[in-house]
Structure 1
Amino acid sequence: MWPWSHAAVGYLCYSIGTRLVGRRPTTGPTVAVLFGALLPDLVDKPLSWVFGLVPQGYAVAHSVLLAVPLGIAALVLTHQHDRRLLGIAFVVGYWSHLLGDVLFGVLRSNPHAFGRVLWPIVTLPAYEQPVLTRLGDYVSVFTGFQSTDDAMIVILGASVVYVTIGVWIFDGRPGLTPIRQALERSFDGPTDGNE
């Protein structure tokens, strides 16, 4: 899955869950769910693609052996500091990432679909292509410049992102206000008090 697909799935899960308990999504948990949804790739892709410490971008942070205790620790820690919604949102984002990778692998008939989340019990074979070649292939498939047998998966992924954008707008665009305020302050520049 692409990073924006992970973010979209995580946000959808958070938004639906929030609505089911009679609340609306807010900024803090929105940021937490997005961070959790992106964390496995932010850790494992550099470990593999940049540093060569693991053979594939599915390793340490994608492992349920880390994700489950880390999720529980996040829930306990945020509960102790009366910030439960942040912990719940983080776990929703993180665990939805792992579930998304497994389901995406199953949809693509990847023989290693479940192995993606079982490191170090299962260590996936090393990538056959150099990083830049692999990135080029990913981009060309996503942009449609290369024919693919799994075009429906690409369309499904894009649809999830578009639906999520609509849901996020419906939710009141949580997380946008602080960004907009920061940008406005940066464009206003420093004031000398003589205005």
Structure 2
Amino acid sequence: MILGHAATAALGRRLTHAPWAALLLGAFAPDLMDKPLGLLGLTGSRAVGHTGVMLLAAGLVCLLLIRFHRLRPATALAFLGMWIVHLAGDLAAPRMLFWPLLGPLPQPSGEGIWAALRGYAFFYLRPDFTRAMFWLDAGCLLAAGLAWWPASRRKRV
């Protein structure tokens, strides 16, 4: 849901006027952690970044940055809000969200980087998935466009 995460960041920008960097980083943070680890065969494609523990850790880092005047509270809320929206958009399983309380994370296949790349390709190119993901991403982009359009239209007049 690459375009979907970008679209939610665009909606977040429209609603909050938070910095793009905070919105995009929050929208992609779980995948920025998990996908490289998954490609290396260290974890599954959804692992530590998709857990509540990591969200809590990110929140604590934000609190420290706010405390030392390195981050505005509104920017931290936008970043953490996009992280939560990412988890909701990915429909993260309760076992993942509440790790380690509900059991261990899924184990990696251990087949190496080429097997992981083939797995991603199969996952994203399956006909049933492609159709569903297309409409999900298209819906997210349409919603972001509709939310953005009136504001951009008013600025030109």
TM above 0.5, yes or no, is yes
Q: State the shift of 1:37 in Å.
A: 0.8
**TM-score of the superposed pair, with normalisation by structure 2:** 0.74
Gaps of 5+ in 2: none
Q: Which residue of the partner structure matches residue 86 of structure 1?
A: 75
- Pairing partner for 2:140 from 160, 164, 167: 160
Q: Is structure 2 residue 53 aligned with structure 1 residue 73?
A: no
Name the structure with the higher helix share. 2
> Please, what is the CA RMSD of the aligned residues?
3.0
Distance of 2:107 and 2:94 partners within structure 1: 14
Say if 2:126 is the partner of 1:135: no
TM-score (normalised: structure 1):
0.61
Structure 2 letter corresponding to 1:124? P
Q: Find out whether 1:7 has 2:1 as its counterpart.
A: no
Specify whether residues 69 and 131 from structure 1 end up closer, same or farther in structure 2 by C-alpha distance, changes over 3 A only.
closer
* Offset from partner CA, 1:114-169 (integer Å, 9 cap, x none): 2232344431243598222223224424xxxx2x1784454133211232134234
The answer (yes or no) to whether the contact 1:64–1:118 under 8 Å persists in 2 is yes
Identical columns (%): 27
- Alpha-carbon distance between aligned partners in 2 of 1:47 and 1:150, rounded to the nearest angstrom: 24
SS at match of 1:58: coil
- Equivalent in the alignment of 1:60: 48
Contact 2:12 2:78 in 1 (8 A): no
Following the alignment from structure 2 to structure 1, what is the Cα–Cα distance between the partners of residues 72 and 152?
21
Aligned length: 147
Q: For residue 44 of structure 1, report the CA deviation from its aligned partner.
A: 0.8
